[in-house]
A and B are shown apart, each in its own frame.
Chain A
Amino acid sequence: MNEYIIVEFEDTREVIIDDALSGYKTGDVIEIGGCTHTICLEGKKNYLPLEQDINPSGTSPILPFKVYFSKD
């Protein structure tokens, strides 16, 4: 089952999913499998939290789960 998320951060960065560059950017709707994923951002580690484990369910492309990162 696919789930949908958006990663919110004040800069545009590529989103790293499970330690791999996903091609998706912050602010994009991202399609992922409905299971546990570890999310972080490409580039300088000047944000918090440094990574987040998420397990979204019941999302849709227009109602994605939001993952927030803020500048450190």
Chain B
Amino acid sequence: MKIKQGNSVLVLLMLLSGCAHYLENDPKTIFEAGYGYQYLPKAETIEQDKIYVALALSGGGTRAAALSYGVMEKLKATPIQNGNKNLMEEVDLISSVSGGSFTAAYYGLFGDNLFSDFKDKFLYRDIQSELTQKLYNPVNWLRLMSPNFNRIDLAIELYDETVFNKKTYQDLDNNGKRPFIALNATNLTTGSQFTFTQTTFDILGSDLSTLPVARAVASSSAFPILLSPVSYKNHLASKGFNLSRDIENGLKDQYDGPDPRRYLWAYNQSIYHTNKAERPYVHLMDGGLADNIGVRYISDNFNLSSGFLFQRKTAIKELIIIIVNAKTQPAESLDKEESPPKLIDVAYKTATVSMDNYSFESIQMISDILKISERAAKEILDCQAVIDKQCSSGYKLPVMGHDFKVSVVEINFLNVKDSVKQQRLLSLPTSFSLSKEEVDELISVGKELLDQSKAFKEVITRIK
């Protein structure tokens, strides 16, 4: 009898574990142009675009989330246009990665409530301990036995219930899309950036609007090894959907053509549409693996003809990119030992070294791209000035269609003047558990660094 009861319990437990499944993204059977969470139509933004402010919020756990919060609080306290507005109201886009995605998503969903709620809702919490407690719950052991339910799904539940109040992308969409929130993860197969917009989900034949924002944030911050990847279904193509002409032309050019970068972008986008049978799922991890600064989404949208920034170049007069880079330089002990690092250390380093290496290059890259565009307009004006001075013909060169001033502001602990404080900040861990004092210091440092930035002071002088 006891054996029978035991067997019944076992069968019940197996059934329970087998039932556990991550939340699937919904299909979208019919494609609708302009549907869902994608950048605003140009006609609705063209007046606002004259001063275009984009924030790039880096990864780095609670450290990055708190530093971003501090910078955003300072922007809110910065009056512009004779005090009629504050600079936070001028922010058009927030592109974020990992820890920065918590702050970005919260602002997108709850607006200025960020400044009253977010500290208690997220920054001051010991999220790591809360996740561990979930792991101790025997009910979750059973769920985790299912191949379709992982540690990350427990994290998603925690974020969904306690941080983002079960809000979905439809809620984000209802808030008006300004600023537009671009949460970035990394496609584990292609290594390319995956941004949570309906444009990306159109390729998956999927509807982003029903997806909990917590799931996107968790994908963006699924730190390698500690958390498992987040899986998405690549549904059948929506009826009426076709790849954009930008992608088609990129593919036509081939890898050895004039722009291999656009070809790779087009290839990585297209394979989930053209080869659905071979790729029925997409697995995403921390956005920092592809770009730990969050600037690539901005530079892609500036360079590509399908990008909303490219299409607004002629309207913009001031293009302001504020990069919140919470990069640290933790004390390293590997070089002190003769014996090679242990497997776990190697695995951790392998997973994170690329995040640190390419941050500097990414910032330089976007700065160079924007400055080249800025200079192009000036080059014509300079030549015209020479012609006007030297020639009496009155010959007029054609004018550049765009003419904007570029400012790239980087918030980085390396700019902290006090060396003891700087060292303390550079040694902070990447985790979802910092002390209240550490969080408060990060918020305060975010404000200070923005305040002391020469590039930021120049911008404010121009637009005040």
Contact status A35-B253, CB under 8 Å: yes
In the complex, the chain B residue whose C-beta lies closest to that of A7 is: B401
Question: Which residues of A are in contact with B by a Cβ distance under 8 Å?
Answer: 1-2, 4, 6, 17-25, 27-38, 53, 55, 57, 60-62, 64
Residues on A with C-beta less than 8 A from B373 are 2, 31
Which one of A18, A22, A57 has the greatest number of beta carbons of chain B within 10 Å? A18
Residues on A with C-beta less than 8 A from B313 are 23-24, 31
Contact status B244-A18, CB under 8 Å: yes
CB contact between B400 and one of A18, A19, A31, A35 (< 8 Å): that residue: A31
Q: Quick check: is B240 within 8 A (CB to CB) of the other chain?
A: no
Residues on B with C-beta less than 8 A from A30 are 401
Residues on B with C-beta less than 8 A from A55 are 253, 258
Q: What string of 1s and 0s marks CB contacts (under 8 Å) between B17-53 and chain A?
A: 0000000000000000000000000100000000000
How many contacting A-B pairs (Cβ < 8 A)? 102
Contact status B252-A2, CB under 8 Å: no
- Bin the interface of chain B by size: 35 or more
Within 8 A of A (CB), among B230-261: 244-246, 249-250, 252-253, 257-259
CB contact between A62 and one of B250, B252, B380 (< 8 Å): that residue: B380
Contact status A21-B311, CB under 8 Å: yes
Contact status B245-A19, CB under 8 Å: yes
Residues on A with C-beta less than 8 A from B250 are 35-36
> What CA separation (Å) do A27 and B400 show in the bound complex?
9
Which one of B312, B397, B399, B400 has the greatest number of beta carbons of chain A within 10 Å? B400
Q: What are 30 pairs between A and B in contact, CB < 8 Å?
A: A6-B398, A18-B249, A18-B306, A19-B245, A20-B305, A21-B42, A22-B311, A22-B314, A23-B315, A23-B402, A24-B313, A24-B314, A24-B401, A24-B402, A27-B398, A28-B314, A29-B380, A29-B400, A29-B401, A31-B376, A33-B259, A35-B258, A35-B259, A36-B252, A36-B258, A55-B253, A55-B258, A60-B379, A61-B376, A62-B379
> What CA separation (Å) do A2 and B302 show in the bound complex?
12
> What CA separation (Å) do A63 and B167 show in the bound complex?
52
A28-B398, A29-B399, A35-B262 known; A20+B306 contact, CB < 8 A = yes
> What CA separation (Å) do A29 and B312 show in the bound complex?
15
Contact status B400-A61, CB under 8 Å: yes
> What CA separation (Å) do A53 and B314 show in the bound complex?
22
> What CA separation (Å) do A57 and B383 show in the bound complex?
21
> What CA separation (Å) do A62 and B253 show in the bound complex?
26
Contact status B305-A37, CB under 8 Å: yes
Residues on A with C-beta less than 8 A from B141 are none
Q: How far is the CB of A35 from chain B (nearest CB, A)?
A: 4
CB contact between B310 and one of A6, A22, A35, A62 (< 8 Å): that residue: A22
Q: How far is the CB of A3 from chain B (nearest CB, A)?
A: 9
Q: Quick check: is B303 within 8 A (CB to CB) of the other chain?
A: yes
> What CA separation (Å) do A20 and B314 show in the bound complex?
14
Q: Quick check: is B372 within 8 A (CB to CB) of the other chain?
A: yes
Contact status A35-B249, CB under 8 Å: yes
Contact status A31-B402, CB under 8 Å: yes
Contact status A57-B400, CB under 8 Å: no
> What CA separation (Å) do A33 and B246 show in the bound complex?
11
CB contact between B258 and one of A18, A22, A57 (< 8 Å): that residue: A57
Residues on B with C-beta less than 8 A from A36 are 249-250, 252-253, 257-258
Contact status A18-B303, CB under 8 Å: no
Q: How far is the CB of A12 from chain B (nearest CB, A)?
A: 12
Residues on B with C-beta less than 8 A from A19 are 244-246
Which one of A21, A31, A57 has the greatest number of beta carbons of chain B within 10 Å? A31
In the complex, the chain B residue whose C-beta lies closest to that of A62 is: B383
CB contact between A38 and one of B249, B314, B376 (< 8 Å): that residue: B249
In the complex, the chain B residue whose C-beta lies closest to that of A51 is: B245
A21-B42, A23-B312, A28-B398 known; A61+B380 contact, CB < 8 A = yes
Residues on B with C-beta less than 8 A from A57 are 258
Q: Quick check: is B377 within 8 A (CB to CB) of the other chain?
A: yes
Residues on A with C-beta less than 8 A from B315 are 23
Residues on B with C-beta less than 8 A from A38 are 245, 249
> What CA separation (Å) do A23 and B372 show in the bound complex?
19
Q: What string of 1s and 0s marks CB contacts (under 8 Å) between B44-77 and chain A?
A: 0000000000000000000000000000000000
A21-B311, A22-B311, A23-B42 known; A33+B262 contact, CB < 8 A = yes
Q: How far is the CB of B50 from chain A (nearest CB, A)?
A: 13
Within 8 A of A (CB), among B72-108: none
Q: Quick check: is B428 within 8 A (CB to CB) of the other chain?
A: no
Residues on A with C-beta less than 8 A from B401 are 23-25, 28-31
Q: Quick check: is B459 within 8 A (CB to CB) of the other chain?
A: no
